[in-house]
Structure 1
Amino acid sequence: MSHHRPDTLAHAPLGRESAYPEHYDAGLLYPIERAANRAPLGIEEGALPFVGEDEWHAFELSWLNARGKPIVAVARFRLPADSPRLIESKSWKLYLNGFNQTRFASRDEVVAILERDLARAAGTAVSVELFGVDDEALAPRRLPGECLDDRDIAVDDYTPSAEHLGVGEEVVEETLYSHLLKSNCPVTGQPDWGSVLIRYKGPRLDRDGLLRYLIGYRQHQDFHEHCVEHIFMDLMARARPERLLVLARYVRRGGLDISPWRGTPGERPPLPLRLARQ
């Protein structure tokens, strides 16, 4: 399969039995057009209502040096939200596994190859950083702001409903978060566990309603990136904040974690923010 060709989930490796590659193969990357999943949310390519990135960490990256000795690293990838394509996660894992028994002259060569292949698949430049396993940059941290999870609410709706989102008249600037985010893989149905942070300036969000809304993703089937965009669009439509940042940090699966964020222009997440569950 050419890594230049975007495709649909019909032929993706996700949910299929796969043979793990023994050597490097850029053709394993499986790009998927973002537009199809954005259209139902009223998001038009070329006129995105947000800025953002999909941040990935790969914890199972290894290759051989010129003398055949294994090298291990943790990789951080940042894929811009305005890229025309995302990369399906299992194909990314298979691609990275192809490095395991392949010799490379240097760490810089590995970075250059990763940047080249991922950019071709995504349709735009992708940032690549490599870290040692014990690097302080990978130390887990806590989310800032106020946690919503101890609120004593009754819940009977486990599908996303913007009707739960209510606001008051007071304009505030605050950061709220929850560790109760859960969605499901749209192909395999496997659970995707995560935490979500919402930082905004605008009419004060009703906390009980916001928590009910976030819990509503519990049976929702979608990719991590699309869940974050769904949350962003619903909050913009219902609360109309002056500024908004939505950041989700999903628990790793298959050696990869995905942490997308979307914000109004000028917003940036408080990095680094790897959590203990990741």
Structure 2
Amino acid sequence: MTNTVDLSPLGKTSAYRTDYAPELLFPIPRQGKRDEIGLGSGSTLPFYGVDIWNAYEISWLNARGKPQVAIARITVPADSPNIVESKSFKLYLNSFNQTRLDSVVALKNLLQQDLSNGFGATVHISLTQPEEFGMVEMGELDGLLLDRLDIDVDHYSPAPELLKAALDEEPVEEKLVSHLLKSNCLVTGQPDWASVQIHYAGPQIDQESLLRYLIGFREHNEFHEQCVERIFTDILRQCQPQQLAVYARYTRRGGLDINPWRSNFSTAQRPPNLRGARQ
């Protein structure tokens, strides 16, 4: 049976397990939402990319019963068949709280095994231990700030028809940034807040129309990864850039933040995992 969001632990009272329980992870196929935006099963995705998860609340016991803590970064390929519902991810991480492990390597190996199984593809795990916490960098998305524009807004659901570009003029390359992206959890309706960067090369995108479009997610219910893929495909179809990358940094919930990046730049490097001020 295929997992659907109504079967997930979201929006339900959940007992917190403190013994190792990988079965708590709740995978959800990506394809259903991709079908909604015209990326049917069997079609070639118009992007590649990753979802960068940061987990700030990981703790376990060493072999002598002493608590340990770390920060984890989990990098998930965008072509993995599944996402993992974030509350189930949190419950899974909390199942380590009273679990004794021989080493950090043992923890990393379990995370690698369980999360790769959940997402359906090999994920990359890195752990930052307390002696390295001071080396964790912060930074903001670079680019021209769309939020400076003084615009009227009266539409709060995604409307790709708002997007406009100068299709008959010389192409440009630029990065545009907004801190006004807000969507809502697909199940609970709770708000999700993000900053987003649009990096493109092609016909110049009308900035006011792009900002109105992004604000249009304000009452939209969808998971982070799905919002970013919708933004990418809408801009690609409406504005026809030759190159496009969309990167969103969402604020954390339950000790987790999710930061999807989608790109069709053949030369694009994976974006830095710099924690923003709101994260």
**TM-score (normalizing by structure 2):** 0.95
Aligned to 1:146: 144
| CA-to-aligned-CA distance 1:237-273 (integer Å, 9 cap, x gap) | 0111111100010000111000001110523343132
Q: Percent identity?
A: 52
Pair 1:270-2:266 in alignment: no
Aligned to 1:182: 182
Aligned to 1:78: 75
Which residue identity lines up with residue 46 of structure 2 in the other structure? P
The offset of 1:137, in angstroms, is: 4.8
**1:181-220 matches, cutoff 5 A:** 181-220=181-220
Cα distance in 2 for partners of 1:44, 1:113 equals 33
Pair 1:27-2:28 in alignment: no
Cα distance in 2 for partners of 1:175, 1:205 equals 11
**1:1-278 matches, cutoff 5 A:** 6-46=2-42, 47-133=44-130, 135-168=133-166, 169-266=169-266, 267-278=268-279
| CA-to-aligned-CA distance 1:172-194 (integer Å, 9 cap, x gap) | 11101000000000100000000
Consecutive aligned runs of 4 or more in structure 1 exceeding 6 Å deviation: none
The offset of 1:222, in angstroms, is: 0.2
SS in 2 for 1:24: coil
Cα distance in 2 for partners of 1:116, 1:269 equals 23
Cα distance in 2 for partners of 1:145, 1:246 equals 12
SS in 1 for 2:155: coil
CA 1:31–1:137 in 2, change beyond 3 Å: closer, same or farther?
Answer: farther
| CA-to-aligned-CA distance 1:137-185 (integer Å, 9 cap, x gap) | 5321021111111110000000111111111223111101000000000
**Contact 2:6–2:187 under 8 Å retained in 1:** no
Cα distance in 2 for partners of 1:233, 1:269 equals 19
**Contact 1:6–1:31 under 8 Å retained in 2:** no
Cα distance in 2 for partners of 1:129, 1:268 equals 18
CA 1:12–1:195 in 2, change beyond 3 Å: closer, same or farther?
Answer: same
**Unpaired segments of 5 or more residues in structure 2?**
none
CA 1:235–1:114 in 2, change beyond 3 Å: closer, same or farther?
Answer: same
**TM-score (normalizing by structure 1):** 0.96
Report the RMSD for the aligned CA atoms in angstroms. Answer: 1.3
SS in 2 for 1:235: helix
**Unpaired segments of 5 or more residues in structure 1?**
none
Cα distance in 1 for partners of 2:232, 2:244 equals 8
Which residue identity lines up with residue 8 of structure 2 in the other structure? A
